[in-house]
Every structure is written in structure tokens, then in C-alpha cells.
Chain A
Amino acid sequence: MKDHGGTEDRRSWMGILARAPEGRAAACLDAAMARPGFTWLRAPEIGTVMVRGRAGGTGAPFNLGETTLTRCALKLADGTVGHAYIQGRRKADAEVAALCDALMQTEDAARIRRAVIEPLRTEADAARASRARKAAATKVDFFTMVRGED
């Protein structure tokens, strides 16, 4: 197994795969290449994660509530291992995320980055920017009436 990316890079692509809307990563991957064979190390399973907050936003942690999570791990024919931890109950998406995570560590990394990771990042950025523009349009512009003798 070759490591073509550092931890930060891997954290970044795993996050992008996790945040992709349902079916979107699969569409990108299938348009780019035929899916390689793999064996399950851990078939997709659904559970929860306890989400924590902090009192006052910055203080002592407390348990806020859980969110659903799907995780899986697989191994490509060359032994490369891919993991997925994605929010929601999405076994098909988790499989694709783990597959892409594995492929990003192989010779196919550049191809997956171009066909899957970068488009998903662009779409996520666009969605976020669109919401930010709508929010900006609701920002209050105060008019201050100047009064008095001076």
C-alpha cells in the first residue's frame, strides 16, 4: 500500500465523502471508472455517535444527543484498506466512501481526486456559499438618524 497523501489530506477527503448528498459520490465514481473488486473487513453497519457540546459554547463538555452513523471498512485486491464513517443510515454511500478512501491511496488517486473529490468539494462549497448569500441578504443595515445641534 502506498501512501499518496498525509493525514490532513485524508481527513479532508473523508470529510468531503461523508458530507456528499445521497448517491452523489456513487454517481461521480461510476462515471469515472468501473468499481474495483474488494473484500469487506467490516460490512456496512448502522449505529450512533453521541454528539457533545460545551457549556457556554467554550466551557465544559456535555452530551447533546446522538446522530445516526454508518461505517464500514474494505480491502482492495492489492491490500489497500478504505474506511468510511458517514452520518445517517446510508450503507450504499458508505461503501462508495470507503472505496474512494481506498482508491485515494493507490495509483488511481489523481483520477478519483479529479472525478469525485474535487467535484464534491466544489458542490459543497457552492451550496454553502448559496446559503451564505441568502443569509447576507437578511443582514440588517441600520440607518442612524443624526439629531441635535452640532
Chain B
Amino acid sequence: MYVAVKGGERAIDNAHAWLAEERRGDASVAELSVAQIREQLALAVNRVMAEGSLYDPDLAALAIKQARGDLIEAVFLIRAYRTTLPRFGTSHPVDTGAMACDRRISATFKDLPGGQVLGPTFDYTHRLLDFALAAEGEAPHTPEREADDAAMPRVMDFLNREGLIEEARPSDDVPPDVTREPLAMPADRALRLQVLSRADEGFILGLAYSTQRGYARNHPFVGELRIGTVAVEMDVPELGFAVEIGEIALTECETVNQFTGSKTEPAQFTRGYGLVFGQTERKAISMALVDRALRWEELGEDDVGAPAQDAEFVLYHADNIQATGFLEHIKLPHYVDFQSELELVRKLRREASADADGHQEAAE
């Protein structure tokens, strides 16, 4: 059978022209600038950077504008742009212990050195719509207080002094990179952390919630959550030393999880880890819970068959660009595929009715 495969160019061009007009919206309303998106929709920008796996607030803001606020479409644009850029190198691992913290809280220790610093949080707001924001107002003023330059040590270090928590020993292993090698099982923890950090927030949130509801429950506490900026350093071969190329904002979450011990390990606390670009704490906490659930094998826990324990299930379905690419392709023309299915169904029905006629004749 012949199926037309050309045509539609004019319709496509006109659809895209209309898309551009709809994107702009009512022309009597002022147009959004990319800088406005970057500054005033910063958490959307952060999410697009995290899931696009490319830290560049201006590009993420542009992608959000182009995508009309569809954040997965914006992530898609960022991922596509990233593939056009050469990679100049790799940074030294960032030192989150030296983070300039905007926020740093612990749900396990009230009086920790450096204190509980709330930062610019939605926590403790009443979630009532603020109609004052609908009116143009003065720029808000933030109270300040003398800051002591005291370091903010990691909460984990306190538990470590008593030997009650598993240690994260440093290594200089070269981690696998999912942007260079296709995902393959078994995935070591470094690979899992990379995939989780760029995974869809909603998917990771749902999986993390499933562990809290009892599917591979691991009793997490937020040992520490910190948000702030860290310096990024990279080696420059032509100079022979490392230089600081700038700063990035990160959210880091360390969970402390109950662990009753195994044949080889005494009872102690274990850890889950989340690290995500930007101010993205829901994602970082979710990541830490899922990271911990995926560590069941290494910690000698039982496989209870929970989705969050299944690395293959989690990692192969966490990427929203892969998922949406495959999901959305089914709306594109499948005329030939469908024609063959249609022929098959007609043939089966013809055969079934011929069989039925045959049986009837035999019975008569």
C-alpha cells in the first residue's frame, strides 16, 4: 500500500507562527524579559538547570520563555543546546563543606555549631495567596544581622566522632558519565547519583514518598540540608595549575537512616545523599531518600521488591527527556504501522467468521 509521506509543510509553518503569537500572548500586556524570568522565577530556572544538567541561569530563563513555561520542554531545549558545546574539562569535586550558606538546617540536632539558618524559605509561610503581589510594590527590604564568620561544620562529623555513622571515605576514582556512555546495569553509586541529580523532580519525589509510606522504608532524618554557593575550580593544562572559574549555587541534603546492623556491620546510622544545582530542596531531599533505598545491596539489606530499590526501574525511567521523547512520539504519524495492524485485525475477523461458518455447516 502507498501512503503519502510528503505534505504538511505549510500547515507546520503556520502552526509555528501561531505558536509564536500565542507565546507572546496579549500584545497589550508587557513582554517578559529573560532577565525578569531569571530573577523572578528563579526556582523554575533552577529546576531547568538541574534537570537540563547545565548550570547557566540565562540559558535556562531563555528556554523557559521559549517553552511558554513548560519546564520539561525547557529542559529539552537545554539538553539539545548542551550537545552543541565542546567540553573543555572537568572540575575538581566541589567542596560543599566550604559552602557560603544561605540556608542550613538540621532536623536531628537543635544546637549545632553555626546554628539553624532558615534562609529564604517557604517553610512556616501560611500558604495563603498574597494579593499584595498582584499590585506593583516597592522592592522588599530584608533585615540583616552581624554575621560571625564561623565555619558551618557538617552535622555528619558529630555523629562520626562517636563512630555511629558510616563514613564517606574520599577516593580519586574517575566516575562514569551518563552523558558519554549509555546507562548500563549494574550502575555503581557514582552513576546513580549523576542520574538522580538530573532526574525528573516529580518522579524522584514520588519514589522517595513511596519509601516513606513503607515500600523499602528506611527511616530517614534530614541530618543536614544546606543551600548556598561553592567555588568551581578546574585544572588548566596550559597553566599547570587549577583556577577558579566562578561559583554555582547548590542544594545538598544528607539523610541519616536507621540501620540495625548486618552480619558484617554493627548497628549504626547510614546515609543517603542528594546534591542538585540551584535552590532545589524538594529534589535534593528526594534524591537522598532514593539514593539510600538503592543502596540496599551494598548494606546487606533485604530486597523487598520495592520500586525504589530497583536500580534498573528507577534509573531507566527517571529521565524526563528520554521519557517524554518516547511517550510523545506516539502522537506523530504512524499511518503505515496502523494500516498493517488494521489489515491484521480484519484478517483475524475474516478467519474467525469463516471458522464459525465452517462449524455451523458441520453441525447442520
Enumerate chain A interface residues (CB-CB to B < 8 A): 7, 10-11, 14-15, 18-19, 45-69, 71, 73, 83, 85-89, 128-140, 142
Contacts and interface: CB of A to CB of B under 8 A. Distances in A.
Nearest to A15: B244
Given A48-B85, A55-B273, A59-B169, 8 more contacts: A50-B90, A51-B248, A66-B82, A67-B54, A68-B59, A68-B85, A88-B56, A135-B102
B176 to A, nearest CB: 8
* Interchain residue pairs A-B with the least CB separation, the first 3: A56-B168, A87-B246, A59-B168
Given A59-B169, A85-B236, A52 B156 contact: no
Contacts of B246: 18-19, 67, 86-88
A130 B247 CA distance: 16
Interface residues of B, number: 83
A60 B173 contact: yes
A63 B241 contact: no
B202 interface: no
A58 B224 CA distance: 14
A138 B243 contact: no
B94 A52 contact: yes
Interface string B119-151: 110000000000000000000001111111100
A46 to B, nearest CB: 6
Given A47-B85, A47-B87, A131-B102, A136 B147 contact: yes
Contact of A51 (B91, B116, B145): B91
Contacts of A71: 88
Contacts of A133: 144-147
B277 interface: yes
B189 A11 contact: no
B55 A67 contact: yes
Nearest to B240: A7
B96 interface: yes
Interface string B46-70: 0001100111101100000000000
A87 B50 contact: no
**Max chain B CB contacts within 10 Å: which of A14, A55, A73, A131?**
A55
Given A11-B242, A14-B244, A50-B177, A60 B116 contact: no
B244 A68 contact: no
B74 interface: no
14 contacts: A46-B85, A47-B85, A47-B88, A48-B54, A57-B154, A62-B189, A63-B190, A64-B194, A65-B54, A66-B55, A69-B88, A87-B247, A136-B146, A142-B111
Interface of B: 49-50, 53-56, 58-59, 82, 85-94, 96-97, 100-103, 110-111, 115-120, 142-149, 154, 156, 168-179, 189-191, 193-194, 197-198, 231-232, 234, 236, 238-239, 241-248, 250, 252, 254, 271, 273, 275, 277
Contacts of A47: 85-88
Given A65-B277, A85-B245, A48 B194 contact: no
A41 B72 CA distance: 40
A54 B56 contact: no
Nearest to A50: B90
A128 to B, nearest CB: 6
Contacts of B243: 11, 14-15, 18, 85
B88 to A, nearest CB: 4
Contacts of B59: 68, 89
Contacts of A85: 88, 234, 236, 243, 245
Nearest to A134: B142
A64 B117 contact: no
A83 B58 CA distance: 24
Contact of B97 (A10, A58, A61, A130): A58
A137 B87 contact: no
B147 A132 contact: yes
B55 A139 contact: no
Contacts of B49: 65
B327 to A, nearest CB: 23
A146 to B, nearest CB: 15
Contacts of A50: 87, 89-91, 177, 179
B234 A49 contact: yes
A142 B110 CA distance: 9
Nearest to B154: A57
Contact of A68 (B55, B194, B252): B55
B111 A58 contact: no
A26 to B, nearest CB: 17
B242 to A, nearest CB: 7
